[in-house]
Structure 1
Amino acid sequence: MRPYKIPESVLVVIHTPALDVLLIQRADADNFWQSVTGSKDRAEEPLALTASREVAEETGIECGEGSALASRLVDWQLRNVYEIYPRWRARYAPGVTHNTEHLFGLCVPQRIEPRLSPHEHTAWQWLPYRQAADACFSPSNAEAILLLPQFAE
């Protein structure tokens, strides 16, 4: 049996200096566009490690410690608490209904072609940040993208 997901996750808005945002389409839900997201692997995993691991797993973009982009992964010091969609609650321990999501930004020098994990995502697109926010299925993801001008370099 697969272990339950930890209800603490990251959302990483990958963007360019021009505020173009990378969105990826979920493989398990038609037309669900989002930023990189993912849960901690273990309770004590540092959030920055969760963020860099998820970015690498979902896009192939390396931003972990020692990488060229490591200094560009920024913890926005914001979090969302939201109700987990019923379709995905079985992944969590019985009785868990909410997740705490920590927001990060990753500024890449220009639009990069991601290398998607096909079991997680099926397509990608770069959009100006307002269009990217409109394309997101998740209201909290859209809100995070709309905050981008406050956090961009």
Structure 2
Amino acid sequence: MPPKPFKIPESVLVVIHTPALDVLLINRADAENFWQSVTGAKDREDESFLETAAREVAEETGIACGPDSLQDWGLENVYAIYPQWLHRYAPGVVRNTEHVFGLQVPVGTPVRLNPREHTAYQWLPWREAADACFSASNAEAILMLPQFVA
């Protein structure tokens, strides 16, 4: 079996929310009590951020969305990769660039988690969701949600 290729240090963050601004958080399988929005890296260099966002939403939550249903917030976060995940990247890669999107879904949208990636989900009012996030950049994005929905 060939070695797994290194992750591309370009990713997406998708804040999934209802019209009432309840936010979907999912708990990572590989880190206890690590609540977050949908995140994920590009699969290939030429994959657009929109394509990555739609693919990751479907893979992680089972929610099908086309690129036209995603709202590009025009924001990017550049952050240090957590030490426990540095081995997934090429030697010397220590920072990731994350592009932020929003996705509004109807109340009651079914969620089907990929059990290899996430163990639980919850819908929380946006301020509570921000407080529950492990990642500061994820919390900041959720706190900006009202300005992108207005």
TM-score category, normalised to shorter length: over 0.9
TM normalised by structure 2 equals 0.96
Q: Secondary structure at the match of 2:58?
A: helix
TM normalised by structure 1 equals 0.95
> What is residue 41 of structure 2 aligned with on the other side?
39
Q: 1:46-104: per-residue Cα shift (whole Å, max 9, x none)?
A: 1100000000000000002xxxxx53311101000000000000000000000000000
Letter in 2 for 1:12: V
Identity score, percent: 72
Q: Secondary structure at the match of 1:11?
A: strand
1:6-21 aligned at under 5 Å gives the runs 6-21=8-23
How far has the Cα of 1:28 moved from its partner?
0.1
CA–CA separation in structure 2 for the residues paired with 1:116 and 1:142: 21
CA–CA separation in structure 2 for the residues paired with 1:72 and 1:132: 22
**8 Å contact kept, 1:111–1:126:** no
CA–CA separation in structure 2 for the residues paired with 1:107 and 1:10: 16
Aligned length: 148
Letter in 2 for 1:95: G
How far has the Cα of 1:112 moved from its partner?
1.9
Letter in 2 for 1:14: I
Structure 1 unaligned spans of 5+: 65-69
> What is residue 101 of structure 2 aligned with on the other side?
104
**8 Å contact kept, 2:13–2:100:** yes
Letter in 1 for 2:63: I
CA–CA separation in structure 1 for the residues paired with 2:108 and 2:71: 18
Match of 2:110 among 110, 113, 117: 113
Letter in 2 for 1:31: N
**8 Å contact kept, 2:12–2:53:** yes
Structure 2 unaligned spans of 5+: none
How far has the Cα of 1:110 moved from its partner?
1.3
CA–CA separation in structure 2 for the residues paired with 1:14 and 1:22: 6
> What is residue 67 of structure 1 aligned with on the other side?
none
Q: Secondary structure at the match of 1:151?
A: helix
**8 Å contact kept, 1:72–1:108:** no
> What is residue 82 of structure 1 aligned with on the other side?
79
- Structure 2 residue 55 is the aligned partner of structure 1 residue 53: yes
How far has the Cα of 1:113 moved from its partner?
2.8
Match of 1:24 among 26, 39, 59: 26
How far has the Cα of 1:152 moved from its partner?
1.1
> What is residue 63 of structure 1 aligned with on the other side?
65
- Structure 2 residue 135 is the aligned partner of structure 1 residue 129: no
